[in-house]
Chain A
Amino acid sequence: MPTVYEIFKMIFGLVASVFILYFLITYAGGYAGTQLSAQRISITRDFLTASENVYLSGVPFIFDGFGRQDFEYSLDASGTQPQIEFGSGQLPVRVPLFFSPGKELYIERKELDLGWWKFGFAMATPEMDIIFNVQDPEGMDAAVGIASLFPESQEPEISFTLCDGAELEGPYGQFDFAGSRSPVIRNIRPALPCSASLQKGSILVTISSSCSSSMQAGICIRPSDGTAFISGSQKEYIYKDSLDLAALVLGGDRKDLFGNYIAETLYTYKNRVVGSELRLASVVLEGKARLLEGRDADCDYSRLVSSLRELRAIVSGKDYYLSRHTGYTDANLLLMAEQERLEALGCGL
């Protein structure tokens, strides 16, 4: 028969154990939850820091932080400040950054050369195989232009393949695909619609004069009127340069955690951020031209200033990129010609 003391020890021990365990589990549970959230913030912040460094220094970087934890993240460009949303929070994006989610991302600095201005941006590309089905030979330039904005990378592997009917030719690296001996240029006859079985994660880019919104998969580009489509979407996307197309291709027909097409988000983001920078660039260059006016008789900036104002008026329009006849391309060409003329005279800005 146990003594009162022994019974007391048992009961007291039980009560104390339950108390300690309850306290530890509650604390540990809360701590673990906080740690998970903190880890996501840390990974996303590291990604943004890496992208900023690449943008500022031009030195490419392979980021594999997203492989440490599986969570969804996407670009939210709907507000005034673009940010990355990742469920437990968001962080602001301070440099022009184009990315598609993946465990390992190759981040590289690229430039969109408009002739009179170079728009710099960081491109973070996950492992992908871009399959071009060039049914319209007019679209060869578009294919090469898209490929030139992607990086040359084996790890993660970023490759380009040509599809003609049921046949696939490739994969090629960026240097081979976008270079002077590109297979796109060699294959000058139009390809048949792609019927080859495509691996998971590959993005089909069809270049055809008969794109419609009911195509099978990926992106379709119609060079005859400069329009692109995303499979599953009814919308038309007007493209003016290779970055419009690269943004659509990078997103493919995937959707983000908001249920939006990543391609559409990147396309809209690209036009807003380019428009914003061009608007400010036109203000700064016009201001500089006014400050330097009259110092050198050979330097007449009046035509440049009026071209800058014209472009500024175009890109200041809301959703200017959705309209086909804004004169955006012509305004850029005019500025490029005027800048070259002034540089030849030693008056370049």
Chain B
Amino acid sequence: MNGQANIMEYVLMTFFVIVVIGAIIFLLTFFQVLQFGGEQQKAVFTRQLFIAKYFLASPLMARENSVFDDAKLTALSESNGCRELEAVLGSGWAVEVTRLDSNTAGACTAENYPDCGRWSYCGQNIRNQSIVLPVNVYGASDGLAGIGIMKVVIYTK
């Protein structure tokens, strides 16, 4: 009986050690999964920021001092700008620029320019969670710079 008790105790201890090792491995994996979630959020924000900065720095859309040019925005939007920009920036994003001090909030086209105040690329009426950044929009027709906002959304699968 004593021998059996000893054996059982031995088996129990060994089993216990294996469980401990398994638990350590599980915890490490769990920790990595949790980290990944946080990293993904940060990655989405980083990509949103990159797209915002790209738009502001690109001479296709902006003037020299990171101010949007409304005529360039309209021309790009009219010429299927989404497809062109997706070739550079990849897909799964959308940008909307809206002039805040404009009397009209309609989407800009060649027909209604400059009586308009909204430009969209690769998405319409962005309601998904997006970052919003204040920007300036320069009116090429009147030479005046106004305030506006730029919304950038990344569509995660």
Contact = CB atoms under 8 A, between A and B. Distances in A.
A adjacent to B, CB under 8 Å? yes
Interface stretch (B74-82, B128-136, B149-157): B74-82
Given A287-B76, A288-B72, A291-B113, A12 B11 contact: yes
Contact of B6 (A5, A290, A295): A5
B10 A12 contact: yes
Interface in B76-94: 76, 78-79, 84, 87-90
A112 interface: no
B27 interface: no
Contacts of A333: none
B87 A80 contact: yes
A257 interface: no
B60 A56 contact: no
Contacts of A291: 71, 74-75, 110, 113-114, 140-141
Nearest to A34: B32
A118 B57 CA distance: 12
Given A8-B7, A291-B113, A118 B59 contact: yes
A284 B21 contact: no
Interface in A4-62: 4-5, 8-9, 12-13, 16, 19-20, 23-24, 27, 49, 52, 55-56
Contacts of B114: 291
B7 to A, nearest CB: 6
A92 B140 contact: no
Do most interface residues of chain B lie in helix, strand or loop, or is the interface mixed? helix
A280 B88 CA distance: 12
A292 B18 contact: no
A81 B87 contact: yes
B38 interface: no
B54 A56 contact: yes
B118 to A, nearest CB: 16
B155 to A, nearest CB: 17
B116 to A, nearest CB: 11
Nearest to B22: A23
Interface string A109-145: 0000000011010000000000000000000000000
Nearest to A24: B21
A170 to B, nearest CB: 36
Contacts of A8: 7, 10
B7 A295 contact: no
A30 to B, nearest CB: 11
Interface residues of B, number: 35
Contact of A5 (B3, B87, B89, B140): B3
A72 to B, nearest CB: 25
B105 interface: no
Which of B3, B54, B88, B141 has the largest number of chain A CB atoms within 10 A? Answer: B88
B106 to A, nearest CB: 15
Nearest to B47: A94
A20 B72 CA distance: 66
A95 B88 CA distance: 7
B46 to A, nearest CB: 8
Interface in B1-16: 3, 6-7, 10-11, 14
Given A284-B79, A287-B75, A287-B79, A19 B18 contact: yes
A94 B60 contact: no
A283 interface: yes
A88 interface: no
A94 B89 contact: yes
Contacts of B74: 287-288, 291
B79 A283 contact: yes
B10 A281 contact: no
A329 interface: no
Contacts of B11: 12
A302 interface: no
30 contacts: A4-B3, A5-B3, A13-B14, A19-B18, A20-B18, A20-B21, A24-B21, A49-B46, A52-B50, A56-B54, A81-B90, A92-B90, A94-B50, A94-B88, A94-B89, A94-B90, A280-B60, A280-B76, A283-B75, A284-B72, A287-B71, A287-B72, A288-B71, A288-B72, A288-B75, A290-B110, A291-B75, A291-B114, A291-B140, A292-B140
List the 6 closest A-B pairs by CB distance, nearest first: A287-B75, A288-B71, A56-B53, A284-B75, A283-B79, A291-B71
Given A8-B7, A49-B46, A276-B87, 17 more contacts: A4-B3, A12-B11, A12-B14, A19-B18, A24-B21, A81-B87, A94-B50, A118-B59, A284-B79, A286-B75, A287-B72, A287-B78, A288-B72, A288-B140, A291-B74, A291-B110, A292-B71
